[in-house]
Structure 1
Amino acid sequence: MASVEVSLKEMMAGVEGSVGAAVVDYTSGMALGTLGGGKDLDLTVAAAGNTDVIRAKVRTMEQLGLKSGIEDILITLDRQYHLIRLVTGRNGNGLFLYLVLDKERSNLAMARHQLKRVEEQLEV
């Protein structure tokens, strides 16, 4: 099992083109930890904003009567991918992993695979 700090390092080091990573509690909108980012990417603000994305999608799925769980949500920008993966394990209820990737230097399939691996090992 991996701590938040170790999980963040694995997210950043395990995916080429990673720009920033966060572990976020979407019940409160607070980032439990962040790594990377910078003046053009405030991960604390992004964590809070993406909390609204998750809440809206969960609410919509409930209204539609969909019983499936969300694996991940992809937001594609001109130069970046923003990947959100809900944590589903016994210790992850209400958490999500957030990874920002440079679109030109990253492999989206590998990023999804790495986030799944990190999710399975996360211990909060």
Structure 2
Amino acid sequence: MSTTLDQTLAAALEIDGATAVALVDYESGMSLGHQGTGIDLDVAAAGNTEVIRAKLRTMAALGLDDRIEDILITLGQQYHLIRLLQGADGTGLFPYLGVDTSRPNRAGARRLLTTPARPLTI
């Protein structure tokens, strides 16, 4: 049984403190879908794509033969979690999740981004 993109996004928003979520195409920087409030998720999708690209360039310059699992950006009032789901060909998607720091559940948010319960149908 698979889940739809809307179901997956809605499930992410059930995390305590979650305010916004998007699934982003790494190649284009475009959001494939998003839900939530408080953040312009199209801007966040494009901007966080640049964060990932910058980190990958830095890793290459350092000669690191490794991959990004996730990125946590800690702001004063929000956590922004990014999980790179990279395919063997270097392309892929990443879920982006905004979490209010007054009700943080980083472990739950990271677990949701790490292990999807069912295959996703886009």
TM range (shorter): 0.7 to 0.9
Deviations 1:83-116 (CA, angstroms, capped at 9, x unpaired): 00011467x9421000000011121111101111
**Displacement, 1:37?**
2.0
Q: Which residue number in structure 2 is paired with residue 10 of structure 1?
A: 11
Whether the 8 Å CA contact 2:83–2:113 is kept in 1: the answer is yes
Please state which structure has a larger fraction of its residues in helix: 1
Cα distance in 2 for partners of 1:120, 1:84 equals: 19
Cα distance in 2 for partners of 1:84, 1:97 equals: 6
Q: Give 5+ residue unaligned stretches, structure 2.
A: none
Whether the 8 Å CA contact 2:23–2:95 is kept in 1: the answer is yes
Please state which structure has a larger fraction of its residues in strand: 2
TM-score normalised by structure 2 residue count: 0.87
What is the aligned-residue identity percentage?
A: 52
Q: How many residues align?
A: 120
CA RMSD between the two structures: 2.0
Flag as ranges the 4+ runs of structure 1 deviating above 4 A. none
Whether the 8 Å CA contact 1:11–1:118 is kept in 2: the answer is no
Q: Which residue number in structure 2 is paired with residue 34 of structure 1?
A: 34
Counterpart code for 2:56: V
**Match of 1:20, SS?**
strand
